[in-house]
A and B are shown apart, each in its own frame.
Chain A
């Protein structure tokens, strides 16, 4: 039963609500283009003009050691924090000045490094809220309970199945196991039916078993979405990415395919080899 559910969750499911790919402004051009992104905190400069170009329907990973500015870059892309300089263009729109909740409407969804759920609400309600969040007008309905079409059951059921959480739909999110919570965390991003999903260390704190499952899930996402992945765990990145951007001290060090990055001399020098190759070398 579980195995079956897992398989179903990995393959492309035609019943699964198709993300609004048709809304892609310019097919063939990058979905996300960040140019010269600078972020200062007082005198401290976290990002010294970072460029990042993400192609649609790819898994693009950003890696680097602690303090490289990965998470800061992530936050400027999702709108959690503003930039001190530079521009962020998403799907043809300049979103640099937009807040996080506005960028969600553009098709940007994110997960959190530290699990951040509505812990007192059910798994289904968590996903319903995520699905409702992109539908601005309906969210301000002061009169009708979220039933019928307002329950967004089609989207929610699709995500539950994909993330192998169907059995736990009515459980309180706070009582799920760590691995289940990490999956719900990603599921929350999926429920928004976004164009791009930004995952901030989705495997943080995961056990070995959960890790492989999460890897397959992220790989499977590429069929329908564009994935931007911030990772510390190099193993994961090398296996499932199309493009890898290596950051160091607030700058982009190298960008390329996993193989190219693994062979890159600068990367080897900067990270003393085995950190990036993650034991594979």
Chain B
């Protein structure tokens, strides 16, 4: 699954960032694809690489939105600082949630992340002075990126903002590709495969899971901040359980265990729902059916489907293709 070279995957990611403006007319829609791709990659790190089904991704996403929103509206901080703060807050929140949740495994782990998601939602709801409560945080500005009064990059138009998000999107994916291929990332795969054995050969499994959580939270927080800045509002819905669910659905549709699959999942979900919602108000019903189909027939998601098609085109038995690259990977 995760066997294509780092460079090739990075090229695919760059290609997506360059091609989206050519095929999508709306800058906001294209930006939304990249924003969710970032969040989905964070979720994939947990689900696909560490084997952790987290319903808490909405917490980190929402906190990222609020952090950027509050810092930009109340303190008029420069945009890069607001983004950085969202990353830090996302990582801290994920460390906190992870600290408790990884004490349990399986069902109870999932329940704990759900419980935290509910808790943070009501926390945001009951602090209207900070978060705007039910109305959300309105009028989040989008100041240009400037150093000492010198404007480096205007972000007024949707496509200008897209450029900023696209650059960050490529950087985030590059970093995540490095992390998942690193000694650390390979250990996460081992933990996903057999947690008991991983502990028996000397790994502090909890510490690894916690680190995966922190990275996931940081990345998801960044995505949340971008969405708030793009839409000009940090709504209560961004910290809702529904956001966690949406990110998870995108992750599963795209395919787990492969980072580029996250881009596919996010793009598919965002574009598909945008198109369907103009045709039929009950479009979520179709999405449900799609999810059933993915769960039943294509558990490796769109990425797995693409791989199968590619193999069929090349008319090669799949076994060969799986063996060869794994050999080069384990002994580079």
Contacts and interface: CB of A to CB of B under 8 A. Distances in A.
Asked if chains A and B come from one complex, the reply is: yes
Interface of A: 78, 80, 99-101, 104-105, 109-110, 112, 116-122, 124-125, 128-130, 132-134, 136, 138-147, 150-151, 153, 169-172, 188, 191-192
Contacts of A116: 194, 196-197, 200
B183 A139 contact: yes
A104 B330 contact: no
B193 A121 contact: yes
B330 A139 contact: no
B331 interface: yes
A142 B331 contact: no
A188 B201 contact: yes
Top 9 closest A-B pairs, CB basis?
A133-B202, A104-B202, A133-B201, A170-B327, A141-B183, A147-B332, A118-B193, A130-B201, A142-B184
Contact of B332 (A99, A112, A120, A145): A145
Interface stretch (B131-139, B174-182, B234-242, B264-272): B174-182
Given A133-B201, A143-B178, A151-B331, A125 B186 contact: yes
A190 B189 CA distance: 21
Nearest to A171: B323
B203 interface: yes
B277 interface: no
A101 B330 contact: no
B190 interface: yes
A169 B326 CA distance: 11
B104 interface: no
Contacts of A78: 200
Given A141-B184, A171-B323, 17 more contacts: A100-B199, A101-B199, A101-B200, A110-B200, A112-B200, A120-B193, A121-B190, A124-B330, A125-B186, A129-B190, A133-B198, A138-B183, A142-B178, A143-B182, A144-B183, A145-B186, A188-B197
B191 to A, nearest CB: 9
B331 A124 contact: yes
B204 A101 contact: yes
B57 to A, nearest CB: 21
Contacts of A104: 200-202
A128 B198 CA distance: 12
Nearest to B189: A121
Contacts of A143: 178-179, 182
Nearest to B215: A142
B205 interface: yes
A145 B181 CA distance: 5
B187 interface: yes
A267 B181 CA distance: 55
A31 to B, nearest CB: 19
B323 A170 contact: yes
A70 B187 CA distance: 31
